[in-house]
Each structure stands twice: as C-alpha cells, then as structure tokens.
Structure 1
Amino acid sequence: MRIAIDLTSLSYHMTGIERYAACMTEEMLKLDISNEYVLIFRNEVFPVFEQYIDQKRVKVEILRGRNKMLFLQLVLAINLYRIKADKYIFFAFTSPIIFRKKGIINTIHDMGAWDAAEAMTCLQKLYWRTTYRISAKNSERIITVSEFSKGRISDILHYSPQKIDVVYSAVYKGVTKDYGYSFDDVREKYQLPKQYIMTLSTLEPRKNMELLLKAFTNIQDKVDYDLVLVGRKGWKIDEVLERYNSKTRIHITGYVEDEHISVIYKNAKCFVFPSLYEGFGLPPVEALALGTPVIASDAASIPEILMDSATYFHNNSYSELSDLLIDINSKLSTFPRKLNLYQKENYSFKKSANKILGIISR
C-alpha cells in the first residue's frame, strides 16, 4: 500500500497540531516497514525525517509556496492529484477542498469554528467552516483527538460516528527530556522570577488569558509568586495584555525552545489552564508528565482528557479561579501532580500510531 502524508504544516509555527502530525508520522515510519510512504513538505524537509527518507520505502515531495491559504488550497491540491497513493492522510490541516480522491483520511482536532467562534475573525470562521464541511464530505474516515470532539464533529457536520476514530495526542519526548540546563540558566535566559505559576499556549482569546490575568491581578498582593505566560502572541491579545500586564509580577517569555521548556514546567508551583475550548489540551498533560500540579477549566474536552489528575474550576469562573490561586501555597500538597495509569498507557504516540495503522489496514 502507498500512503501519502501531508506534512506541509511543519513549515509554519510548531503548535499542538503540527507536533501531532510530526510525531504520529515518525512513529508510523518506525512501526510499519511493509507499506510505502510519500511525505509531502513545504519548501524543505522537516529535519527529523531526513533519517527515514531512502526514496524507496520512504519518498519525499517538496512543494514550493508562500501564501498560506493559496498553498494549502491550490498548490497542495494540484500536486496531490499528481501523487498516486492508496491513502492520503492529513494530520494537521484538513485536505484541500478541491481535492477529491478515494482514500482520504482527515484529522479534525476540534470544532472551534462553531463552538468558539467569538475567538476568531469573521474570515477565519468562514474559512474553517467551509473547509471542514467540504473536507469531511471528501473523507473516507475522520480522525479526532477526544470523544468530545467526535461528538461535536458528528453533530455539526452530520458525519457518521462509526466513521470517526478517536486517536489521542501525547507528550512529545523532546518536552520531557533533560537537556542538562539548570533552573538558573533558563531563568536568566527568559528573565523568570524565582517563584511562579505558569500557563503555556498561543496567547489568544480562546485560551482565556484575560480571565487568568484578571484573577492574578486581583490577588497578586496576597501571594508570594508571580505569573509566567509562555507562548507566542496570537490574535487580539495585545489589548488584553495592555489592560493587565504588570512589568514586575507578570512575565511573558514568547516562544520557548523544547530544550528549555521542561525546566520551566518543573520549577513552576502550578500550571493554570483557563482555556474556554479545547479538542484535547496538551500543555496540562505535559505539565503533569513532569510532575507539576494543574488547575484547569472544566470546559469542553478538558475533564475527559485530564480526568482525576487536575484541580478544576467552573469554566470562566473568575471567583473560583481567584480562590484557587490564593490557596495555592496552603493547598498545593493536596493537588494531583501526575498522570494516572490510563493516561500514561493511552497518551502515547506509539500506541496512537498503531491505531492509525489499524485504521488504514481496514
């Protein structure tokens, strides 16, 4: 069987969905030596895959393009028609809307274009709703990352739940690896305080940074720790930061390299995840994998994924979050701080890749 995998998203920002695409593909290449693969990249091969490409079992297609939307919907589509395969897998973004062939397997991570539309521009909402509807119609099967997302995909797109497979995300090994950096090294590089709570995400409205900033600003004089926001700035965040950012108590790192992030996770008193909507919600899983307790919103898929391993507040509840932040020092020892057995066994890219291979073989 010949399997084509779209990895063109890896040339953009490395967020959770891009990491899902990269790790899932790499595990498939390790596990499956019988099928032939065609890996499709934009502009250059993503470094981790260079070791696998032999132009026999694993071949490569490098496509050129600048404008993201034109590339995804036109350049990629034209070249996919040229590439002959039995299965076409899209792990990050869904297939181009004009690409219609047998064997398309799309991944839809969440239905935020409907469920969290207020966190998008009108153009973004129109684009994602259109591409999801058409790509779903062109799909042989759909992959998603939680039972919550499976239900929303089925309800909104009227897609048979029997043709939707839940394949969990997992913690990337590079996040938990010890690269030998001390806390002092990382603290100096990112100008971190000695004691802090943290969150990690693209800083944008859907992640509900305003709630966390408002709650922390309200209680900062009652606690001995600061707030660290890890991640690049997203749409509409500057005006929120303008209202609440304190140069002395709130710290924004920007993008953090993989070799440093484990140190920041490990030395945080607590990881706070106030998100309004998630298909999976990887950062708190990463925090727990490194032994850091988590306070999380009970929105969307978050309780399904974090289960009994987190301390929850009601979605968007300013008072509940404020109370938890005040109580961190006194109650920290009672907070769960590790993944349970089910999570350790099932949030695994190796296990998920095996499930994908089973789906393909069907």
Structure 2
Amino acid sequence: MKAILDNIIFPLQKSGGISNVWFEFLYRITRKKDIELSFLDFENQNIFFQKLLKNNYLPNIAHSKRFLERYRNPQLNDIHEKFIFHSSYYRICKNPYAINITTVHDFTYEYYNHGLAKFIHSWQKRQAILKSDHIICISENTKKDLLHFIPNVAPEKISIVYNGVSDDYHIISSSETLNTLPFPSLSYVVFVGSRAKYKNFELTVQAISKTSLNLVIVGSSLNSEEQSMINKHFQKDNRIYCTGYIDNSQLNIVYNNAYALLYPSTYEGFGIPVLEAQKAGCPVIAYNGSSIPEIIGDTTLLMQEISTKEIHDKLEILKNKQVRTKIITEGIKNAQRFSWDKMYENIINIYQKVWESRNF
C-alpha cells in the first residue's frame, strides 16, 4: 500500500487539538514498515512537528508554502498508480489515482463563525467531504453534525474513529509539584485550552470569583480584554494564574493537584482535555452537550445548563470525599476506553478497506 499524508495542519497552528491528533497518528504510522509513505511538508514552527523531527521523522516530499496554500488541492500528477491521500486539514488530491480520505473534527465554524471566514472554511470542508472516498468522524456527534450540514453524504462512507489520550497523564505521588504554581493542592480549578466565546471562559471566571477557589488557566497568555474582564470579577488578581503553554508532564501535575477541571464549552467535536484530566485523577465538570456526554461517560458532574449556579452546585458535590473518590475512580476507568493506538489501528483498517475496494 502507498500513502501520501498531507501535513498542512502544522503551518496553520503552532499547537492545537488537530495538530495533536495528527502527530499521534504520524508517530505511529512512521513506524509501520508495510506502507510506502510520503509526506507533503511545509516549513513551520509547530511544536508537534518539532517532536517528530526529534524522533528521526524525515519527510520525503517537501513543498514550498504558497499563497493561500491551505486552500490549494495538490495535483501530484507524476504518480501513475493508486495511492491513499489523507490530509490533516480538508484538502484532497486531484490525481485520478488518489484514494482520498478526509477526517472531520467538528463544525465549530458552521455553528459559531460568521462572514467570509466561515464561508471559505465551510466551502472547503464541504468539497473535501463530498469528493472523498471515505470520511472519518472523531465522534458520533460529529457524524450527526456532518449529516445535518451535508445531508447528501452516504452514511456508509463515514466511520467513527475516536481520538485517544496520552499516557503522559496518570496519577502521581503527592511529592510531585509544579514549582511555578502559586497555589496549594486542591485549592484551584483549572481551565484548559481555547478561550473562544463558546468555551465560556468568562462564565468560568465569574463563577470561580464567587468561591474561595483559585483559577489556573492553561493556554495562551491573557490579552488585555481578558485581563480587564478578570479585574471586573476579581478584586485581587492573586487568585488567577496563567501558566502559558506547558508540556504534558507539567499539565499532568496541574491536573493531579486541581480541585477540578472546569470545561463548560457548549460545543466540542471530541474534548481531549476531559480525558486527560480523568486519566490524571482530576474530576471534570463539563456541559452536557455536543460530544461531551459521549466521551466523558456516566458522571454526576455534567452541567444541564450554562450558569454560575450550576457550576457552584457541581463544585459543592466534590466536597464530599467519598463522592469525589468515586468520581475520580470512574473517570480513570472511562478514560481507558480511549487510546491513540486504537485510533491508529482503526485508521489503518480503513486504509486497507478502501485500498482493496478501489481498482483502476
């Protein structure tokens, strides 16, 4: 089998969930010897790509990034035999010998963006989906959204392949601490990732300001608008700490010492931080919507509405040590349902299936 993998996601983001997913797949497939691999690569500073380079990953098809490269569909006209083409971000190959595979992560643009950016993204995604030989969705909810927005896709062309969760997340001894963290264990709630409006970061700030808990923010530095909003809710900012971007080992320590992960996002294609926290023994308070109930498992910490009262009610539940211990145990068990190895094996099985079904 011959496969060409399109690493266009790496120059599009320095880090991020899709980069993480693609990295975990590449890390495994580059160690498989019975697939003839090639890559479309572009100069970038993506942290996951740098990890691959350190692990002796060497791409063998290099391309210069052109203007609007992310929207260009590669031709690869010099190839005259069938091959799998799998893009990391909604590109397809126009070569008639290409067997196109598209992974669909979510429909955030369709639900929450507006204007030209939404139109271009949705158009490109739609074209990739309609012209692909097979489509991978990362959750049942994403498949449901796909069939809502593009109902003329044949359901038999869609497979559900869940993301995984890194083994970097696990229970640690109480002696392991994050030196730069200014708060003691169990005295803070953690908020991880993007702070786009639908992630409800301001609601998090507002809710925690009315408790005795501190707030640790993991991700990009606070901008002036966010800092102003925090100042409005907190009289003193010594209860807020932003770590910036940190690696898995540091984030694992943050999870281990947190009172809870607060994840009130109203929409997720999957929600990897939910599983990271569960594996690390951190209770997760999340909103009961989109893919989250599918991923998080059975838990009393699912919010039925987006409100400070609901957050406070869930935080109150965790004060009971027996209930907290039960939730942590169930979370660790739930996270065991997901692994990057399972994700990889499922994708390879799809490759094999479409490869055998196409004759030129």
So what's the TM-score if we normalise by structure 2?
0.83
Asked if structure 2 preserves the Cα contact closer than 8 Å seen for 1:278 and 1:300, the reply is yes
Q: Is residue 2:256 matched to residue 1:263?
A: no
Match for 2:304 among 287, 301, 314? 314
Match for 1:130 among 108, 123, 127? 123
Provide the C-alpha distance between the structure 1 equivalents of 2:121 and 2:90, rounded to a whole number of angstroms.
9
Question: Which amino acid is the alignment partner of residue 270 of structure 1?
Answer: A
Give the aligned length: 337
Paired position in structure 2 for 1:5: 5
Q: Would the alpha carbon gap of residues 307 and 73 (structure 1) be closer, same or farther in structure 2, given more than 3 Å must change?
A: same
User: Which range moves more in the overlay, 204-213 or 315-324?
Assistant: 315-324
Please show how residues 111-150 of structure 1 align to structure 2 within 5 Å.
Answer: 111-115=107-111, 117=112, 120-150=113-143
Aligned residue for 1:62, secondary structure, equals coil
Gaps of 5+ in 1: none
CA deviations over 1:164-223 (Å, ceiling 9, x no partner):
111111112345598x99415242xxx556521111011221211122112122x23xx2
Please show how residues 54-69 of structure 1 align to structure 2 within 5 Å.
Answer: 60-65=60-65
Asked if structure 1 preserves the Cα contact closer than 8 Å seen for 2:169 and 2:279, the reply is no
CA deviations over 1:317-358 (Å, ceiling 9, x no partner):
332113323x156235413114364641x3111111111111
Paired position in structure 2 for 1:167: 161
Paired position in structure 2 for 1:39: 39
Match for 1:210 among 202, 207, 221? 202
Match for 2:71 among 70, 73, 93? 73
Question: Which amino acid is the alignment partner of residue 321 of structure 1?
Answer: I
Question: Which amino acid is the alignment partner of residue 288 of structure 1?
Answer: Q
Provide the C-alpha distance between the structure 2 equivalents of 1:349 and 1:165, rounded to a whole number of angstroms.
16
CA deviations over 1:274-328 (Å, ceiling 9, x no partner):
0010010010110000111111111111001001156111142332113323x15
Q: Is residue 2:286 matched to residue 1:296?
A: yes
Q: Would the alpha carbon gap of residues 307 and 143 (structure 1) be closer, same or farther in structure 2, given more than 3 Å must change?
A: same
Paired position in structure 1 for 2:356: none
CA deviations over 1:89-135 (Å, ceiling 9, x no partner):
123x1115x846531101111112223x2xx3523322221111111
Asked if structure 2 preserves the Cα contact closer than 8 Å seen for 1:10 and 1:18, the reply is yes
Q: Would the alpha carbon gap of residues 131 and 202 (structure 1) be closer, same or farther in structure 2, given more than 3 Å must change?
A: same
User: Which range moves more in the overlay, 202-211 or 264-273?
Assistant: 202-211
Paired position in structure 2 for 1:89: 86
CA deviations over 1:133-165 (Å, ceiling 9, x no partner):
111111111111111111111221121221111
Q: Would the alpha carbon gap of residues 316 and 332 (structure 1) be closer, same or farther in structure 2, given more than 3 Å must change?
A: farther
Paired position in structure 2 for 1:16: 17
Provide the C-alpha distance between the structure 2 equivalents of 1:13 and 1:81, rounded to a whole number of angstroms.
30
So what's the TM-score if we normalise by structure 1?
0.83
Provide the C-alpha distance between the structure 1 equivalents of 2:125 and 2:317, rounded to a whole number of angstroms.
41
Provide the C-alpha distance between the structure 1 equivalents of 2:109 and 2:195, rounded to a whole number of angstroms.
17
Aligned residue for 2:20, secondary structure, equals helix
Percent of paired sites with the same residue: 24
Question: Which amino acid is the alignment partner of residue 20 of structure 2?
Answer: R
CA deviations over 1:215-251 (Å, ceiling 9, x no partner):
122x23xx2x2011111259xx753542234312222
Bigger share in helix: 1
Provide the C-alpha distance between the structure 1 equivalents of 2:115 and 2:227, rounded to a whole number of angstroms.
23
Paired position in structure 1 for 2:104: 108
Provide the C-alpha distance between the structure 2 equivalents of 1:27 and 1:42, rounded to a whole number of angstroms.
20
CA deviations over 1:13-45 (Å, ceiling 9, x no partner):
221111100101222333x32110112221166
Question: Which amino acid is the alignment partner of residue 347 of structure 1?
Answer: F
Q: Would the alpha carbon gap of residues 83 and 172 (structure 1) be closer, same or farther in structure 2, given more than 3 Å must change?
A: farther
Asked if structure 1 preserves the Cα contact closer than 8 Å seen for 2:102 and 2:132, the reply is yes
Match for 1:361 among 349, 352, 355? 352
Provide the C-alpha distance between the structure 2 equivalents of 1:81 and 1:192, rounded to a whole number of angstroms.
58
Asked if structure 2 preserves the Cα contact closer than 8 Å seen for 1:186 and 1:264, the reply is no
Paired position in structure 1 for 2:215: 227
Q: Would the alpha carbon gap of residues 169 and 309 (structure 1) be closer, same or farther in structure 2, given more than 3 Å must change?
A: farther
Provide the C-alpha distance between the structure 1 equivalents of 2:251 and 2:79, rounded to a whole number of angstroms.
38
